[in-house]
Amino acid sequence: MTTPEDRLAALGIVLPTPARPIGNFVNWVRDGDQIFLSGQGPLQADGTLRKGKVGAEIGVEQAYQDARLTGINLLAVLREATDGDLSRVRRVVKLLGMVNAVAHFTDHPKVINGCSDLLIEVLGDAGRHARSAVGFASLPNNISVEIEAVVSLRDAA
């Protein structure tokens, strides 16, 4: 049986250490069998953020890659929340994808697909989720995307 860790390795993805929150909150909260992941952004391995407004400085393809990177950061937080065992994920229940976009931009779903596609690649059917993809006039630190998630877990073995 292929595990999420096997899939990450096959994709050449090394999950980073989760970034520290930028405000008075925590990266995740568990309530029963659900984990609520705080919004993550496109933080690169070198510590820099992908910034800019989609539809102005950033095109859809770059924003898709930024959402994929954000998905990697969500998985890093999720791995921390599951004590290193991503196979405990029963289902990604819901994503909220926020795109820092110009007013006339309309391809928000194409951008957030970067995260959605990654979650399905890594978690298989457990990565299929409900989702909202919306535009915002601005995001913290001028990041291009921010995504939060709700995930349900199986009991620990």
CATH of the domain at 47: 3.30.1330.40
Domain presence at residue 95: yes
Domain presence at residue 28: no
**With the C-alpha atoms ordered 115, 117, 122, 125, is the resulting torsion angle positive or negative?**
positive
What is the model's pLDDT at position 153?
Answer: 96
Domain count, the chain: 1
Mean pLDDT, rounded, for 81-86: 95
Residue 105 pLDDT greater than 80, yes or no: yes
Domain presence at residue 142: yes
Report residue 157's pLDDT band, with 50, 70 and 90 as the boundaries.
Answer: low
CA distance linking residue 95 with residue 148, whole number of Å: 6
Phi, psi angles (nearest 5°) of residue 74:
-65, -45
CA distance linking residue 89 with residue 79, whole number of Å: 9
As given in the structure block, the two tokens for residue 46 are 């070198």
Enclosing domain of residue 45: 4-11+33-153
Domain presence at residue 77: yes
Report residue 19's pLDDT band, with 50, 70 and 90 as the boundaries.
Answer: confident
Domain presence at residue 21: no
Q: What is the pTM of this model?
A: 0.96
Residue 87 pLDDT greater than 70, yes or no: yes
As given in the structure block, the two tokens for residue 132 are 């909202």
Domain presence at residue 121: yes
Domain presence at residue 23: no
As given in the structure block, the two tokens for residue 105 are 């931009």
Domain presence at residue 26: no
